[in-house]
């Protein structure tokens, strides 16, 4: 797993959904600082957050963990 790639997909999908870091954080019951750290590749989301995060971002868990979306 690559923290930068995961952070990039989180940031990209969040922006595509017109969501702020604070809005994403509120949906996951975490802080916006945690979201910022993920997006900058400084840390990984906690395992307990992965499924809800993938659901909110409307991306597969596999793609989230790979840090890239499959085409087709």
Q: State both tokens at 64.
A: 């989230």
Q: Range of 27's domain?
A: 3-66
pLDDT over 70 at 71, yes or no: no
pLDDT over 50 at 60, yes or no: yes
* Domain assignment present for 71: no
Q: Which residues contact 45 (CB under 8 A, 6 or more apart)?
A: 6, 10, 34, 38, 53
> How far does Cα 3 stand from its chain's mean position?
10
Q: Count up the domains in the chain and report the number.
A: 1
Each residue of 8-52: pLDDT tens digit?
999 999 999 999 999 999 999 999 999 999 999 999 999 999 999
The larger pLDDT score, comparing residue 67 to residue 11, is at: 11
CATH number at residue 62: 1.10.260.40
Confidence (pLDDT) at 67:
84
Confidence (pLDDT) at 55:
97
CA dihedral 8, 66, 63, 70 (to 10 degrees): 100
For residues 3 and 42, the answer to whether their CB atoms sit within 8 Å is yes
């Amino acid at each position: 797993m690559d923290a930068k790639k995961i952070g990039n997909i989180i940031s990209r999908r969040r922006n595509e959904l017109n969501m702020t870091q604070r809005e994403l954080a509120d949906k996951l019951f975490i802080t916006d600082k945690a979201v910022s750290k993920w997006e900058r590749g400084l840390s990984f989301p906690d395992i307990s957050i992965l499924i809800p995060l993938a659901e909110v971002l409307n991306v597969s868990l596999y793609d989230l963990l790979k840090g890239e979306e499959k085409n087709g």
